[in-house]
Amino acid sequence: MAGKLRFSYHTRLFFLLLGFSWILVGCFVAFQYHREKIYKVEKLNGELQLYNAHLIDALCTDSIDFNATIARQRLPMAGLRVSVINTDGTLVFDNTLDSLPGENHLNRHEINDAMRSGSGFSLRRHSVSTDRTYFYSATRRDNLIVRSAVPYSVSLQEVLDADSSFLWFMAAVTLAISILGYFATRSLGRTISRLNRFAEKAEKGENVYDVGAFPHDELGSISTHIIRLYARLQQTMTERDREHRNAIHEQQEKTRIKKQLTNNINHELKTPVASIKVCLETLLDHRDLPPDKHWKFVEKAYRHTERLANLLNDVSAITRMDDGAANIEKEPLDLREIIDDIDLSVADQLRKAGITLCMKVPDNTVITGNRTFISSIFRNLIDNAIAYSNGTTITVQLDDESATSYTFSISDDGTGIPEEHLERVFERFYRIDKGRSRLIGGTGLGLSIVRNAVQLHGGTIYAVNVRPHGVKFIFTLAR
């Protein structure tokens, strides 16, 4: 209940253990006290029984004068009352009485036991004859019963009582147990309290960094393992949520890029399609055009058709790469052989532009990859340098190699790229000079294809301007 005072687990456990300990010690003390008291009673009874036996022996030898016979016997203690009783229960002698009572003594407990077993005692019984309380011990032999009685006094009470030093010793033991129990339960209580705080935080889904140190025992070890497991679970859930958010963000980004790509494609398609339509409409509406003008419109329509085909091919390549590396087949490839093939295919372009292609890639440079996309990396970068650099030399070079990757660079000595455009040249349909790009038939997807192809082969790419002239594209490819 909310308003009810609630004791801590340590307090409840301590008082529970304390109660059990005290009950156990109390039972032991009571048992030991009873045993000790019985021992002292039996010891006293044994002394009296021995005296009774000696007295019976003396009486059997000389039974004329009881007083004289008893006087000759050494009493085990002062004030001893001695009685002689027949087996019929008649009191025949008592050293403390002047006149003997006539009542039958067989109903006395110690006499009754002596009749049955030869000896008996009564721990505490009041005598009507003397009006005093005695400890009685009776011994029977043949037809004679001798009973000795010790008056109950302070001295006898002290003799029969248990030793008080034992009680003080057990009290000290109980105190020691209580102190040890307090410290033992405090350590256990702290561990339970920390576990309870941890459970409350875990129930609320809070992050648990520290709930205090645990003792170096089994419970502490279990508690530590539980908290570690919960921390790992939290970490796993955090990573799962982060991956889920990343997956959602990636999906949203893909959707955005596809939408942007679709819009860009629509925009890029309008120009060549419109130009082709204008050319064809002109030819249809003016069938009597001179041959030179007729072929001029045909060539213009062809160039736009070629640009349209290039755009569709680039879009197809981008789409394939967006589908993921799992759908792309890879095989061992000789990069020098691929670059030599590209050199042959662009030889006419190089000659017309007055550009020299300098090759610094060793033979037998082998990589595991997709031939089409590896070729598109080098082809697009070389085509890009031919079209836009206005330089005289293009250098393809293997800069570095390691056990896991190659580092290549393709550079030119042309005009370079303005610094503000270097970070964006790999974006789809991004053009530094839109008019010139369209004029020479660029689709705006070449460098984007290069970046995607490099990433599919486990690498990265970036562009830097070189001094005094030119730009360098540096990229890595996994081996």
- 76-130 pLDDT, tens digit per residue, is 877 889 999 999 989 888 888 888 888 888 989 999 999 999 999 998 888 888 8
Query: Is the pLDDT reported for residue 42 higher than 70?
Result: yes
- Greatest mean pLDDT range, 223-237, 267-281, 346-360: 346-360
Residue recorded with tokens 């001094």: 467
pLDDT value of position 324: 60
Query: Is the pLDDT reported for residue 163 higher than 70?
Result: no
Phi and psi angles of residue 96, each rounded to the nearest 5 degrees, phi first:
-110, 0
d(CA 396, CA 382): 9
Task: Of 51-65, 230-244, 432-446, give the lowest mean pLDDT range.
Answer: 432-446
pLDDT value of position 44: 87
Confidence bin at 1 (pLDDT 50/70/90): very low
Do residues 430 and 424 touch, judged by C-beta distance below 8 A?
yes
| Average pLDDT, integer, range 151-170 | 69
pLDDT value of position 314: 64
Average pLDDT value for the chain = 80
pLDDT value of position 3: 44
Q: Buried (b) or exposed (e) across 193-202, using 16+ Cβ within 10 A? A: ebbeebeeeb
Confidence bin at 289 (pLDDT 50/70/90): confident
> pLDDT digit string (tens) for 383-410?
888 888 788 899 999 999 988 999 999 9
Whole-number percent of the chain with pLDDT over 90: 18
Residue 83 is classified by DSSP as E
- Greatest mean pLDDT range, 113-117, 165-169, 321-325, 371-375: 113-117
DSSP codes of every residue in 340-393: HHHHHHTHHHHHHHT-EEEEE--TT-EEEE-HHHHHHHHHHHHHHHHHH---SE
Query: Is the pLDDT reported for residue 435 higher than 50?
Result: no
Confidence bin at 361 (pLDDT 50/70/90): very high
- Collapsing DSSP to helix, strand or coil, 136 comes out as strand
Task: Of 37-46, 150-159, 281-290, give the lowest mean pLDDT range.
Answer: 150-159
Q: How far is CA 46 from CA 71, 119, 192, 225, in A?
A: 21, 10, 58, 66
Query: Is the pLDDT reported for residue 439 higher than 90?
Result: no
Gyration radius of the chain over CA positions: 59
* Number of Cβ atoms within 10 Å of the Cβ of 227: 19
Q: Which distant-in-sequence residues (6+ apart) come within 8 Å of 97 by Cβ?
A: 129, 130
| Average pLDDT, integer, range 298-321 | 73
> pLDDT digit string (tens) for 192-229?
777 777 777 777 777 665 555 666 666 667 777 777 77
- Greatest mean pLDDT range, 132-146, 181-195, 235-249, 259-273: 132-146
Do residues 396 and 406 touch, judged by C-beta distance below 8 A?
no
Residue recorded with tokens 């660029």: 442
d(CA 112, CA 41): 19
Query: Is the pLDDT reported for residue 308 higher than 80?
Result: no
Which residue from 365, 379, 345 is spatially nearest to 407, judged by alpha carbons? 365
